[in-house]
A and B are shown apart, each in its own frame.
Chain A
Amino acid sequence: MANLKTSEKKSKAQSMGLHTEVLTGKTQQKFFNPDEAENFYYFGTYDVDFNKRTEIDVKNMDCREANKKIDELMKDGYGTIVIKNPQGKHSLGVGILNKLNLIFEGSLGYFGCGSMDGPIVRINGRVGWSCAENMMAGKVVIEKNAGSCFGAAIRGGDLICKGSVGARTGIDQKGGTIIIGGDAGAFTGFMMQRGRIIILGDVGINLGDSMYDGTIFVGGKIGSFGSDAVEAELTDSDQDWLKRKLKVAEIGENFDVSKMTKVVAGKKLWNYDALEPTEKKGAI
């Protein structure tokens, strides 16, 4: 584990109340020195105008060409991009670290919209496995169904599927909110660490198996609880939050949240908090 020491100079992030410790391992010193924090920027971010709109047809492009085209359009200042004919191609819309309105007129294959930080994405179709994997921030709305590993390891943002999703939804989730309008498969919330999952329909076996932390709300039937997943009391503040969230998510606004089941970690398997450095928790 990296050594920790305190920096005297406060970075912008620290002045907003985030961590005050410095990791002094070789890699961390090079890339995460808070003294350099003001100079941090994302490679590939551009000033875009949401009113500047364009459409591209990716029918005859592979995913690399399509993603490069999206990047070029953002570079030209386009803030609203419509993708026509995605036709189930894999890895479309990945690695976007920009504010952007991205609309897919059709379905995506595997790993759609992965590793993104900031865009608002609407997919007027279905998505395959591992949609929005590792998303940091932003919002993704899927109008139809989604495959397995939906929202794997997301750290922030809202990920909404209006249909049903496959197995292992929210696996290794570290933050953010996943909302499912239909049913979810087995091992939903498997090893999740932070964040919330809302399922309005039924959910399969082993719900929340080995979850470290986080909260799962289920509106329908539960196939079975996984190891260390336990039912908790649904509070008034939970219900208020659920109502707000479902309204903002354009899904289940009139759903009776008072009958939902709240599932949390029993914390009997593993003492997660004692093992995680405080600065990691801050980042999460």
Chain B
Amino acid sequence: MCGIAGLIHRGNTSNVGFELQGMLQALKHRGEDSTGYALYGKTDGENFIMRFKVGENVAEGSSSVKEDVSVYDERKKIVDSYLSELGAKVIKEDRILPYSLRYEIQYEKDLMEFSQKIESVEGVEILSMGKSLEVIKDLGNAEVVCNRYNLDKVVGTHAIGHARMATESGVDIKSAHPFWGYPFSDVSVVHNGQLTNYWNNRRVLENKGMRFMSECDSELIAVYLAEKMRNGATLEEGMKESLVGLDGVFTYFVATKDSLGMAKDTMAAKPLVLYESDDLVAMGSEEIAIRSILPQEIETYDPFDGEVKVWQI
């Protein structure tokens, strides 16, 4: 059992970091092994923001092997040299935690080549790459992660997030949601459910050159949609195809720089409650997530089986 939440302000911005923190914290009973945020911030749209990790959080409960900080330092140095080789110019650099970094970079070329190069460094993973997207994920519940990364002041248009109870893969950052829709900038996915044709799909997609960073079945959704979009499908078309292509039970959210979407499997086996108005859409695994930002009496509903919806900012 995991919890997912998402919101989009249409035609406006808001303190989405704080809002999503409240929504995910309301769902913490659905899992607090890890929590992740995909925040679509207010940026100038000029530079890429790359969130990446050079190691894992090895705190109590983690399934990762402890490494010395010097190992992280060494990996960071290699990443910096690779960025230089790729022609990427680092405008701003923040090392938020020993293993977690945020770079603002200028880069004009192919993102797949870029990602493959950076992630060829052992232990390094790009959590997100985008001009408005920032994926922040770590062990602990929503409040813990929010405080650790100072997310409650982030202003933006939309956001999706995930409170995870680890079942089929490790308690680590690489298995935490959201997943970046590599190699597309500004695409992220969160998922609640289980995919039963993960390995079949993974083998097919890997043969097509797509990359997987974890063994978490949910990552498949991001890769699946990215591959569809790479072949010219719109986000909504890819999501509709996923209802047939992905087997199992799922409700997932996907976000791009200007849209937010949801899809529910044809058996409607996983929960989702939705609130929709002209200026705000908020949704989550349980109504209490929505109530954390809209405590007044509101109209909500459960989307039906096989439903796909996409909203624009």
Same complex origin of A and B: yes
Instruction: Report which A residues bind B (CB closer than 8 A).
Output: 87-90, 106-107, 109-110, 125-126, 128-129, 144-148, 163-168, 183, 185-187, 204-205
CA distance A48 to B299 in the complex (A): 34
Which of A107, A109, A185 is within 8 Å of B304, CB to CB? A185
Instruction: Indicate whether B211 reaches chain A with its CB closer than 8 angstroms.
Output: no
Query: Is A185 a contact of B305 with CB atoms below 8 Å?
Result: yes
CA distance A106 to B297 in the complex (A): 6
CA distance A125 to B299 in the complex (A): 8
Q: Can you show 7 pairs from A to B with CB atoms below 8 A apart?
A: A88-B286, A88-B291, A89-B288, A90-B286, A163-B301, A185-B302, A187-B268
Query: Is B286 a contact of A109 with CB atoms below 8 Å?
Result: yes
Query: Is A107 a contact of B266 with CB atoms below 8 Å?
Result: no
Instruction: Indicate whether B170 reaches chain A with its CB closer than 8 angstroms.
Output: no
Main secondary structure of the interface of B (DSSP, over half): loop
Q: A128-B273, A148-B302, A185-B302 are in contact. Are A109 and B288 (CB under 8 A)?
A: yes
Query: Is A166 a contact of B286 with CB atoms below 8 Å?
Result: no
Instruction: Indicate whether B287 reaches chain A with its CB closer than 8 angstroms.
Output: yes
Provide the B18-39 mask, 1 if CB < 8 A to any CB of A, else 0. Answer: 0000000000000000000000
User: Given the complex, which residues of B lie within 8 Å of A110, measured CB to CB?
Assistant: 286
- Whole-angstrom distance between the Cβ of A19 and the nearest chain B Cβ: 37
Query: Is B266 a contact of A186 with CB atoms below 8 Å?
Result: yes
CA distance A88 to B275 in the complex (A): 13
Beyond A109-B286, A147-B302, A168-B268, 16 extra complex contacts between A and B, CB < 8 Å? A88-B290, A88-B291, A90-B288, A129-B271, A144-B300, A145-B299, A145-B300, A145-B301, A145-B302, A146-B302, A164-B301, A166-B268, A167-B267, A167-B304, A185-B268, A186-B305
Q: What are the 5 tightest A-B residue pairs by CB atom distance, in nearest-first order?
A: A88-B287, A167-B268, A166-B302, A186-B305, A145-B301
Query: Is A126 a contact of B304 with CB atoms below 8 Å?
Result: no
CA distance A282 to B143 in the complex (A): 52
CA distance A106 to B290 in the complex (A): 14
- Whole-angstrom distance between the Cβ of A142 and the nearest chain B Cβ: 12
- Whole-angstrom distance between the Cβ of B249 and the nearest chain A Cβ: 11
Query: Is B304 a contact of A204 with CB atoms below 8 Å?
Result: yes
User: Given the complex, which residues of A lie within 8 Å of B287, measured CB to CB?
Assistant: 88, 107, 109, 126, 128
CA distance A107 to B294 in the complex (A): 12
Instruction: Indicate whether B295 reaches chain A with its CB closer than 8 angstroms.
Output: yes
Query: Is B299 a contact of A144 with CB atoms below 8 Å?
Result: yes
- Whole-angstrom distance between the Cβ of B176 and the nearest chain A Cβ: 25
- Whole-angstrom distance between the Cβ of A110 and the nearest chain B Cβ: 7
- Whole-angstrom distance between the Cβ of A15 and the nearest chain B Cβ: 46
In the complex, the chain A residue whose C-beta lies closest to that of B287 is A88
CA distance A276 to B241 in the complex (A): 44
User: Given the complex, which residues of B lie within 8 Å of A185, measured CB to CB?
Assistant: 268, 302, 304-305
User: Given the complex, which residues of A lie within 8 Å of B301, measured CB to CB?
Assistant: 126, 145, 163-164
User: Given the complex, which residues of B lie within 8 Å of A163, measured CB to CB?
Assistant: 301
Which of A87, A146, A186 is within 8 Å of B267, CB to CB? A186
In the complex, the chain B residue whose C-beta lies closest to that of A165 is B302
Q: A107-B297, A144-B299, A167-B268 are in contact. Are A205 and B305 (CB under 8 A)?
A: yes
CA distance A167 to B300 in the complex (A): 16
- Whole-angstrom distance between the Cβ of A2 and the nearest chain B Cβ: 35
CA distance A145 to B297 in the complex (A): 13
- Whole-angstrom distance between the Cβ of A206 and the nearest chain B Cβ: 9
- Whole-angstrom distance between the Cβ of B269 and the nearest chain A Cβ: 8
- Whole-angstrom distance between the Cβ of B289 and the nearest chain A Cβ: 9
Interface residues of B in 268-313 (CB under 8 A from A): 268-269, 271, 273, 286-288, 290-291, 295, 297, 299-302, 304-306
CA distance A68 to B306 in the complex (A): 40
In the complex, the chain A residue whose C-beta lies closest to that of B289 is A88
CA distance A93 to B54 in the complex (A): 49
Query: Is A204 a contact of B300 with CB atoms below 8 Å?
Result: no
Which of A87, A88, A148, A165 is within 8 Å of B271, CB to CB? A148
* Most B Cβ at <10 Å: residue of A88, A145, A185: A88
Query: Is A186 a contact of B288 with CB atoms below 8 Å?
Result: no
CA distance A145 to B275 in the complex (A): 12
